[in-house]
Structure 1
Amino acid sequence: MPTPEEQLIVLAHRIPAAVTPVGDWLAEVADRVVLITSEEAAPGYAGMFRDVLPVSDYSGSDEVVDHLDRLCADHSVARIIHGTEDDILRIARVRDRHGIPGLSEADALVFRDKYAMKAAAQAGVATPAFLAPADGAQAAEFARLAGWPLVVKPRLGYGSRGVAVVEDTAGLTSQLRDRDPADVLLEAFVPGTVHHVDGFMRDGEVLLAVASRYINSCLSFADGESLGSVQLDEHDLLTKRLVAFAEQVVAVLPSTAFSPFHLEVFVQDDTDALVFCEIAARLGGGHIYETLAHSIGADPVELWFRDQAGLSHTGPVASRTPGSYGFLLVPPRQGTLVEIGDLPLPDGVLQHSLPTTLPKAFDAATASTDTVASSLVHGADAGSVESALRRCALWSAAALRWSS
């Protein structure tokens, strides 16, 4: 029987080393780590671990699972580490097949399947009316009861891909015609602003939570508008309400080991009530990772990966660093970016990302995280960060020059 020091730790992770320096984070056990990653990211991890297995189509093929099953069959595997949404369910299934501790498929499904998560969440908090329709007749009856508009989305989607708001029967019929019937969720539309709460949970309790408000919405990319987010001030009454709401949600969902969470919440326009939207057992997309890291004074991915590897960590700090952080994602247009004007960036910008080679052709955005430019901003409070983000949006409109 292999000793714990001889057992493999398998890491399935497609993000490049320049973004997540996992070799440094797992240095103590690097000789036991086998990394499965994308062909694009693999060269950056060369020489860091016991083995690096590149995969040609990381998210869209069975290669990752094939590697995992083979490693579990041929070796003693102690742990499998995951970090991104496309890995959560498939790695949970591998854990179940081979008796490896960690998030199970049944529990992972509640954090991935939007029908399952709403069915669980409604035991503790308000949720929109929702239905996974068996056929068009059920969908039509739901629309009659819930009223228009309706939200149509894939049950297992992420990044707002495939989410549509329909206004009438014709729009609903059209949306249902083009979708997998087994992967459709209907929801009553909730008019209001969308907020998100990000932090860490363990054993059904919230360990740390940072509340933020989206600027525009996660569907803004469809209209060519930027998506932004600003962290609310700690003393804000809404911050306290959102954190308490997160605690209620986490308490009624499956208990997890130490894990990040990303919760989205509607604040209704007419009543100011909080209504559940979605939750994931991972870090949020866009630059939520970076804003959370600045806010807590620690790298949240490093904390999570070390815990999954069975290594100690100091844990997230109990309080936030001073000020507020936010980000802006500018979606690409359908066309060619031909020039970037030499204009000064607004005050407060900590990081700014732009294409390095021009001209460059782009397709229109298909997800909330598709970007041509992005900014990470810091300010004394939420108001100053929001002002800076709006100036960043104006900067992008003036500096990015396109041809059709």
Structure 2
Amino acid sequence: MTNHERTVVCLASYFKGVEFLREVKRQGCRVVLVTKEKFRHEDWPFESLDELIPLPNDASPELFIYTVAQLARPRKLHTVVALEELDVLTAALIREHLRLPGMGSTTARHFRDKLAMRIEAQQAGVRVPDFVHVLNYQDLEDYMKRIPPPWVMKPRSDVSAIGIKKLYDSEQVWRTIDYLDARDRLSERSSNYVLERFVAGDVYHVDSLVENGEVVFAGVNRYGRPPMSVAHEGGVFTTQTLPYDSPERAALLDINRKLITGLRMRRGATHAEFIKSAEDGEFYFLEIASRVGGAYIAEALEAASGVNIWAEWAKIELGRGEVPYVLPPTRQEYGGVALSLARQEYPDTSSFTDPEIVYRVKKRYHVGLVVRSDRHERVTELLRDYTARFERDYCAVVPPLERPE
């Protein structure tokens, strides 16, 4: 089948994946985007879309499945791809329903369910903070006697730091369970949570492209502050490329390969987070998603390496293991991003004139800059300066979300 006969269906419950959509169209395919009604007028690359289907904002997975099944009646579908983390499991269910190649729901849960990914990572020999499913009362009692606080209680399937609570004693744990079990939605009650030992330290992320079970590209970055701290306390989010000769980079690349093999990822893009414990200096696995990292991480990766991870992921999906994937030439420079919520609807960043700036965030009530340099120290210097200026002139703080909106 030639590319112009191939139909690729992309799911995006948020505004994500513009370069993925463009690349699929550049490859000559028919592109169908299925999104939510509230995102139909976002800045999608409409010139690259053959069809945009908006579903109700509260659309269920069953409605997504039905909609894509109807698309498959007049034409055969090549693949279904989730551009946003909340759609990963839905896309897997669609593939199973239509018997399309790609990740099924069992493997997809390894990348959506924080309990499943911890169990699988542990079995693969990856170090994980001590955890327990918030389910059996005796297991919880034994865990809290064995593992000293503080602990963090995390939703098994929410994204980023949404819904995470830091707890300091067993009474707080039991009261939090009571609070969760009083919720109307069954999917938000306590058995959908995991309790984990809080580990203090620096947080890193590894963003990968995977083909035939092998990591063919990986960028290694360190956050300025842990994302959980930024989400709960506000302030400026930063991340930057690690030095290429650093022992941390080598260790994280090794752990990341072991993790992806253990989770049985065959092809796609991943965003994995690890923390280096301030107590023992070891790396611990935090979470992994089968998607491109958010918060303009893709732009920072491209600044450093020359690789647009969205576009390369699109090529991997289209090849489907039948066409050999070849990574384009890469460079070893340094990228970084500074990002914050802003008080202004569209902040004016014209006063930032450094030649290293390669991208300016254009998003309502956000301020952000992506930089590139051949020197790690220069990126560090710029991000430190931008953090101080953002905090002084733009920064806004909002309470952390209890659930995705």
Short-chain TM bin: 0.7 to 0.9
After superposition, the C-alpha distances for 1:48-101 in whole angstroms (9 at most, x for unaligned) are: 444322224277775433311322456432321222101110110111122111
What's the offset of the Cα at 1:250? 1.7
Evaluate the alpha carbon distance shift between residue 10 and residue 42 of structure 1 in structure 2; reply closer, same or farther with a 3 A threshold: farther
1:345 equivalent to 2:352? Answer: yes
Question: 2:65, 2:204 → 1: CA distance?
Answer: 34
Q: Secondary structure at the match of 1:328?
A: strand
After superposition, the C-alpha distances for 1:342-364 in whole angstroms (9 at most, x for unaligned) are: 883273333333667xxxxxxxx
Give the partner amino acid of 1:378: R
Q: Once superposed, what is the RMSD of the aligned Cα atoms?
A: 3.2
Residue number in structure 1 paired with 2:115: 115
Taking structure 2 as the reference length, what is the TM-score of the superposition? 0.83
Q: Secondary structure at the match of 2:103?
A: coil
* 217, 230, 255: which one aligns with 2:226: 217
Evaluate the alpha carbon distance shift between residue 215 and residue 6 of structure 1 in structure 2; reply closer, same or farther with a 3 A threshold: closer
CA contact (8 A) 1:303 1:313 kept: no
Q: Secondary structure at the match of 1:97?
A: helix
CA contact (8 A) 1:300 1:316 kept: no
Evaluate the alpha carbon distance shift between residue 355 and residue 89 of structure 1 in structure 2; reply closer, same or farther with a 3 A threshold: closer
Residue number in structure 2 paired with 1:90: 90
| 1:184-195 equivalence runs, <5 A | 184-195=193-204
* 310, 314, 327: which one aligns with 1:316: 327
Q: Secondary structure at the match of 1:389?
A: helix
Residue number in structure 2 paired with 1:228: 238
Residue number in structure 2 paired with 1:247: 257
Give the partner amino acid of 1:112: R
| 1:78-227 equivalence runs, <5 A | 78-123=78-123, 124-179=125-180, 180-219=189-228, 220-227=230-237
CA contact (8 A) 1:195 1:213 kept: yes
CA contact (8 A) 1:293 1:299 kept: yes
Evaluate the alpha carbon distance shift between residue 252 and residue 402 of structure 1 in structure 2; reply closer, same or farther with a 3 A threshold: closer
Give the partner amino acid of 2:380: E
Evaluate the alpha carbon distance shift between residue 53 and residue 94 of structure 1 in structure 2; reply closer, same or farther with a 3 A threshold: same
What's the offset of the Cα at 1:298? 2.7
| 1:350-365 equivalence runs, <5 A | 350-353=358-361
Q: Secondary structure at the match of 2:377?
A: helix
Question: 1:323, 1:349 → 2: CA distance?
Answer: 14
After superposition, the C-alpha distances for 1:129-157 in whole angstroms (9 at most, x for unaligned) are: 11112145533332221110001101111
Evaluate the alpha carbon distance shift between residue 15 and residue 187 of structure 1 in structure 2; reply closer, same or farther with a 3 A threshold: closer
* 26, 34, 56: which one aligns with 1:36: 34
Residue number in structure 1 paired with 2:280: 271
Evaluate the alpha carbon distance shift between residue 174 and residue 389 of structure 1 in structure 2; reply closer, same or farther with a 3 A threshold: farther
Identity %: 21
CA contact (8 A) 1:191 1:269 kept: yes
Question: 1:232, 1:402 → 2: CA distance?
Answer: 28
What's the offset of the Cα at 1:318? 5.9
What's the offset of the Cα at 1:103? 0.8
CA contact (8 A) 1:190 1:268 kept: yes
Residue number in structure 1 paired with 2:338: 328
Give the partner amino acid of 1:252: G
Residue number in structure 1 paired with 2:389: 395
Residue number in structure 2 paired with 1:13: 12
Evaluate the alpha carbon distance shift between residue 238 and residue 164 of structure 1 in structure 2; reply closer, same or farther with a 3 A threshold: same
Evaluate the alpha carbon distance shift between residue 201 and residue 26 of structure 1 in structure 2; reply closer, same or farther with a 3 A threshold: same
Residue number in structure 1 paired with 2:185: none
After superposition, the C-alpha distances for 1:200-224 in whole angstroms (9 at most, x for unaligned) are: 1233322122211111111122112
Question: 1:80, 1:234 → 2: CA distance?
Answer: 35
Question: 1:144, 1:172 → 2: CA distance?
Answer: 13
Evaluate the alpha carbon distance shift between residue 293 and residue 203 of structure 1 in structure 2; reply closer, same or farther with a 3 A threshold: same
CA contact (8 A) 1:342 1:399 kept: no
Question: 2:373, 2:2 → 1: CA distance?
Answer: 50
Give the partner amino acid of 2:327: P
Question: 1:51, 1:197 → 2: CA distance?
Answer: 33
CA contact (8 A) 1:233 1:381 kept: no
CA contact (8 A) 2:334 2:372 kept: yes
Q: Secondary structure at the match of 1:119?
A: helix
After superposition, the C-alpha distances for 1:228-258 in whole angstroms (9 at most, x for unaligned) are: 111101111211111111122122221312x
Aligned residues: 383
Instruction: Name structure 1 gaps, 5 residues minimum.
Output: 357-370
Question: 1:47, 1:340 → 2: CA distance?
Answer: 28
After superposition, the C-alpha distances for 1:159-210 in whole angstroms (9 at most, x for unaligned) are: 2111121111233233323331231011111222111111212333221222
Q: Secondary structure at the match of 1:158?
A: coil
Evaluate the alpha carbon distance shift between residue 331 and residue 293 of structure 1 in structure 2; reply closer, same or farther with a 3 A threshold: same
Question: 1:339, 1:298 → 2: CA distance?
Answer: 28
Question: 1:116, 1:77 → 2: CA distance?
Answer: 30
